[in-house]
Amino acid sequence: MTYLWVGLGGALGAMARFWMASAVFRAFERPFPYGTLSVNLLGSLAIGVAYIWLVQQQWGTEHHKQLAMIGFLGAFTTFSTFSLESLTLMQQARWSAAFIYMGVSLVGCLLATALGMWVAKSLV
């Protein structure tokens, strides 16, 4: 049953990632990975909330955690794509864009996760 929950969450997360990244790409139409950046920031915020609610507060069942954290957010967040896009920017000698992208992604996602945890704790 675990595989079903993870798979269902993964399918939904992958579709949500594709939809959001595509929408952001269409909105900006610039040679910068705004779609991946927005997905990583939102996914980091969401995993902060999910961790507090599903793990620390133990709201829901183990299946909810498998569906949301492992499945949905595992497919929604995109650090493998982040790595490839960072390397591509560096290979194109777009050093400023590469380091801005990496810095904002890493620091921004950590801050977004902390914000998600703070928001979740505030609502408890």
Predicted local confidence at residue 124, as pLDDT: 84
Predicted local confidence at residue 57, as pLDDT: 92
* 41 touches 112 (CB < 8 A): yes
* 71 touches 5 (CB < 8 A): yes
Alpha helices per DSSP H over the chain:
2-28, 34-50, 62-65, 73-76, 79-91, 95-123
Alpha carbon distance 40, 7 (integer Å): 20
| Averaged pLDDT in 10-residue chunks for the chain of 124 residues | 95 97 89 91 93 92 93 91 94 97 97 97 92
Contacts 24+ apart (CB under 8 A), 108-115: 108/37, 108/40, 108/41, 108/44, 109/40, 109/41, 109/43, 109/44, 110/44, 112/41, 112/42, 112/44, 112/45, 112/48, 113/44, 113/45, 113/47, 113/48, 114/48, 115/45, 115/48
Predicted local confidence at residue 110, as pLDDT: 96
Predicted local confidence at residue 97, as pLDDT: 97
Binding residues for Na(+): 74, 77
* 13 touches 74 (CB < 8 A): yes
